[in-house]
Structure 1
Amino acid sequence: MKKMGLVPKLIMGIIAGILIGSFAPELIVQILVTASSLFSSFLKFVIPFIIIGFVTAGIADLATGAGKLLGITTGIAYGSTIIAGSIAFLVASTIFPSFIDASVAAQIGDPEAGMVPAIFSIPLEPMVDVTAAIVFAFMLGLGISALRNKGKGETLYGMALEFQEVVTKTLSTAIIPLLPLYIAGTFANITYAGQVWDILGVFWKVYLVVIPLHLIYLVVQFTAAGAFTGKNPIKMLKNQIPGYLTAVGTQSSAATIPVNVECAKNNGISKEIREFCVPLCATIHLSGSIISVTSFAVAVLMMNGMDYGFATMMPFILMLGIAMVAAPGAPGGAIMSALPFLPMVGIPSDGGLASLMIALYLTQDSFGTAANVSGDNAIAAVVDHINNKMNKKSNKKSA
């Protein structure tokens, strides 16, 4: 079991939950739901710390590096992430109504109706609320950045990095391993309430849209990079295959960095740019993740007859582009970083709908990660081209 990957464990959790909800006595379902509820309380308690740990260290890191190139790379990465999220919203809101309509929402009905309650709960409230955590993370991250630019703030920076390690350790040793239990409890409850087959009937159709959308956006990124740099986008995409497959297999942006650097080398990107851009973009460029999160959020909203309009989704997308900074450092970090912002679109950050989001996301996480890291090399090609132009101008002035 320890050697088994997360996705098989999640699938086993879903199957176990359906079987328990279908055939087990109500008391067994309640026991599982109680365990899931306790985990949910713990997750809600940890969420503000996830924000503080990831966002503070991520912003503090962005203040150091290659000056103007850092700003250019960050701007392109954020722009690409937002464009990806916007495209995902447009595609989801156009295609999903063909298989998620008012009748589906009516069949599913109130997601809480018919579910069994937990036997008991523990009053575990977060130490700070989500809004306070966001403001504090931005204040501290920007403050550390400013201090480091003046040769100060290394102690605070070290504390931020070490706190991020604590959060990452909590995710990898407690949150992620217990997610199959959490999801099993959710599926046992929705099965007991008679809603599971309506929901699963939507799930697989959503995947048929999301995973091809990752690949289409990769083609768009490399086509745009090729047009800007004069490189052959087909050759660039071919050279990126090892990085894509490594990310699918490892489900880790960090583990893919060495292979991705080699892919960038094969695309003719200079040593200084590939060694600067690839690790940085592995942290701040999440085009694949935001396509997944946005699409699944729209699907969940549609399934429950909730508003999914542009005015609802766009602030959510803009915030995700910032909030998911440094999230790839932890397994499932992107969806965990997105959880605190789900209330912006009307989805509670804990409970049944949130666990549906987690289940949807994590079962395709390897494809989202592969899209993230592959797009990084399209950005690296653009930044390398800009750097070459800047160097030529500088040399002309010197001459």
Structure 2
Amino acid sequence: MTAPSPSLWLRLKRLSLVTQIIIGLIAGIALALFAPEVAKSTSFIGKVFVSALKAVAPILVFVLVMASIANHKHGQETHIRPILFLYLLGTLAAAVVAVVASTLFPSSLVLATHDVAVTAPGGISEVLQSLLLSVVDNPVSALMNANFIGILAWAIGMGVAIRHAGDTTREVLGDLSNGVTLIVRLVIRFAPLGIFGLVASTLATSGFGALIGYVHLLAVLLGCMLFVALVMNPVIVFWKLRRNPYPLVITCLRESGITAFFTRSSAANIPVNLELSKRLGLHEDTYSVSIPLGATINMAGAAITITVLTLAAVHTLGIAVDIPTAILLSIVAAICACGASGVAGGSLLLIPLACSLFGIPSEIAMQVVAVGFIIGVLQDSAETALNSSTDVLFTAAACLGEDEKAQRLA
């Protein structure tokens, strides 16, 4: 007597999460093509999934970082410094790539008045002041508003303080961390369904008609991001590991970049990156800090967006750019990118800051921001995918590189 074949549901459960996400992606595209009205109604599913990720991310970061530091044993190795160096190097390199690409393939914009309500910072000092105020934010307010800079500051402070508490207190904190992690894993299991809703509703509602007029600009933006993801980042990882970087690069793009592309939020993708870091066998004491930190300061995609759109405005207005100014723009874009928020469209609000280098008035700069919102369907998705996948990539490269270095010295 033959055993009954497993149901479709059981077969789907046996597939890897990435395979399930791809199935959800294909199903969402098909629904948007053949039943657009039905597809529009699936937006609620996508919103629920993204909201669940955003809801769990602040408390996860707070508890996980605090527990990691509190339970850290003296003499236990962490690799935060090399990761920070890779974050800053990658962001600056992305800005340089964007300057070169914008010089070789200049873009022109149709600058007109757009009714887009945005509030941009007035200068680099204002960005730095904002970051400092975020650090000293009220912890309850930081958790409520997903201020990850403030959450990290309080988690680190509380973690250091609790290191001197009794063993029972640290064990309770460890159990709390495990409990929050289980909730996160449950949320991530619904990623295929959430991405199905996001893809179907986005394609059915927005389409790509609004992007036709900005094909060249989009091509430069996406080309820079692909170059950084597939060439520049692998070069940096090869320099760190001295071996073929592409297996690690592809894994990070596939398992982190896909979800980040559709959630369009580095902050919302933090739980996904933490789970991937665990599967890669990285140091929990390291990635529990570096991943949330990367969501706030590792912004290669944001640096590209700021640089390309700023130089598009410069080219449109006929302003000459010399090499020293281009270098300065790269540095400013990298600094601005570190101040970009971890939510959809955060980098666009920092474009006027970069435009001020060339004396471009805020009225015109805001029109450039509006162009960014028009092409945001693809630009912001690709930017977030690059930002978030690079968080895991550089964390893994630093951890593996330092481990191999220690083994050679042993």
Q: TM-score range by the shorter chain?
A: 0.5 to 0.7
Does the 8 A contact of 2:307 with 2:333 survive in 1? no
235, 246, 270: which is aligned to 1:234? 246
Does the 8 A contact of 2:92 with 2:334 survive in 1? yes
Amino acid at match of 1:373: S
Q: Which residue of 2 aligns with 1:382?
A: 397
CA shift for structure 1 position 370: 0.3
- CA 1:94–1:69: 2 relative to 1, 3 Å: same
Does the 8 A contact of 1:222 with 1:233 survive in 2? yes
Is the partner of 1:255 in helix, strand or coil? Answer: coil
Greater CA drift, 128-137 or 272-281: 128-137
1:133 aligns with 2:126: yes
Q: Which residue of 1 aligns with 2:86?
A: 76
Give the alignment of 1:257-272 within 5 angstroms: 257-272=270-285
Q: Which residue of 1 aligns with 2:332?
A: 319
- CA 1:309–1:324: 2 relative to 1, 3 Å: same
Greater CA drift, 279-288 or 339-348: 339-348
CA shift for structure 1 position 390: 7.2
- Separation of aligned partners in 1, 2:128 and 2:297: 19
Q: Which residue of 2 aligns with 1:165?
A: 145
Give the alignment of 1:17-166 within 5 angstroms: 69-96=79-106, 100=107, 111=111, 130=123, 133-134=126-127, 136-137=129-130, 156-158=136-138, 162=142, 165=145
- CA 1:219–1:239: 2 relative to 1, 3 Å: same
CA shift for structure 1 position 207: 1.4
Cα RMSD between the aligned structures? 4.1
Give the alignment of 1:212-223 within 5 angstroms: 212-220=223-231, 221-223=233-235
* Structure 1, unpaired ranges of 5+: 6-60, 119-125, 145-155, 169-198
Q: Which residue of 1 aligns with 2:37?
A: none
Q: Which residue of 2 aligns with 1:188?
A: none
CA shift for structure 1 position 239: 1.7
- Separation of aligned partners in 2, 1:233 and 1:132: 37
CA shift for structure 1 position 68: 8.0
- Separation of aligned partners in 1, 2:282 and 2:146: 35
Is the partner of 1:327 in helix, strand or coil? Answer: coil
Is the partner of 1:260 in helix, strand or coil? Answer: helix
Does the 8 A contact of 1:347 with 1:353 survive in 2? no
Q: What do the CA deviations read for 1:112-166 (whole angstroms, capped 9, x no partner)?
A: 6xx79x9xxxxxxx9x95466346446657xx6xxxxxxxxxxx44369649939
Q: What do the CA deviations read for 1:342-376 (whole angstroms, capped 9, x no partner)?
A: 21233333443342244345641001100111122
CA shift for structure 1 position 210: 2.0
- CA 1:304–1:326: 2 relative to 1, 3 Å: closer
Is the partner of 2:344 in helix, strand or coil? Answer: coil
1:203 aligns with 2:204: no
Amino acid at match of 2:379: Q
- CA 1:278–1:206: 2 relative to 1, 3 Å: same
251, 265, 273: which is aligned to 1:252? 265
* Structure 2, unpaired ranges of 5+: 1-39, 45-64, 149-209
- CA 1:167–1:359: 2 relative to 1, 3 Å: farther
Does the 8 A contact of 2:211 with 2:374 survive in 1? no
- CA 1:217–1:133: 2 relative to 1, 3 Å: closer
- Separation of aligned partners in 2, 1:160 and 1:322: 28
Q: What do the CA deviations read for 1:62-89 (whole angstroms, capped 9, x no partner)?
A: xx97998433322221111011110111
Does the 8 A contact of 2:91 with 2:300 survive in 1? yes
351, 367, 378: which is aligned to 1:352? 367
- CA 1:259–1:268: 2 relative to 1, 3 Å: same
Q: Which residue of 2 aligns with 1:192?
A: none
Aligned residues: 276
Amino acid at match of 2:98: A
- Separation of aligned partners in 2, 1:71 and 1:253: 21
CA shift for structure 1 position 299: 1.7
CA shift for structure 1 position 219: 1.9
Does the 8 A contact of 2:309 with 2:368 survive in 1? no
CA shift for structure 1 position 237: 2.8
- CA 1:68–1:167: 2 relative to 1, 3 Å: closer
- CA 1:243–1:340: 2 relative to 1, 3 Å: same
Greater CA drift, 316-325 or 277-286: 316-325
Amino acid at match of 2:397: V
- CA 1:274–1:70: 2 relative to 1, 3 Å: closer
Q: Which residue of 2 aligns with 1:366?
A: 381
- CA 1:160–1:355: 2 relative to 1, 3 Å: farther
1:301 aligns with 2:314: yes
- Separation of aligned partners in 2, 1:164 and 1:298: 37
